[in-house]
Amino acid sequence: MLLLLLGGCKPPPEGRVALPGADLERGKLVMQQAGCAACHVIPGIAWPKGRLGPDLTGFARQGMIAGRVPNRPDVLTAFIRNAPAVAPGTTMPAMPLNPGEARDAAAYLLSLD
């Protein structure tokens, strides 16, 4: 499954807030179990190293998600669960994650500085 998160050119918004109640290790595990690395290179996940989607190294520094929406915790969480609804036309599919799993995955991505 893929997690197509393309970075934009703008720096991330100032004062980024953490996701309350999020668990980074659980987020990493969610991304492993969801198969995100089948399409993406994700720091901390050794295998596979997908090339269909963008490399997510340094994702926290990206200003935009999929080049279309701001890289904010709330937007990223929604994008992870249902990318086509958040950024129509994206190649990332909706992911079968519950809100907590998406929050944890978003927190993990936002820790990739």
Q: With both helix axes pointing from N to C terminus, report the angle between 99-110 and 24-34 in degrees, rounded to the nearest 10.
A: 110
Domain span at residue 77 reads 24-110
Q: Give the C-alpha distances (Å, rounded to integers) separating 1 from 7, 17, 35, 48.
A: 19, 28, 5, 12
Joined tokens for residue 10: 């703008």
More confident residue, 6 or 44: 44
Indicate whether 15 belongs to any domain: no
Here the CATH number for the domain that contains residue 75 is 2.60.40.420
Q: Is the pLDDT at 31 greater than 80, yes or no?
A: yes
More confident residue, 51 or 112: 112
Q: Give the C-alpha distances (Å, rounded to integers) separating 2 from 5, 16, 41, 47, 49.
A: 9, 25, 11, 14, 12
pTM for this structure?
0.81
Indicate whether 2 belongs to any domain: no
Question: How many domains, in total, are found in the chain?
Answer: 1
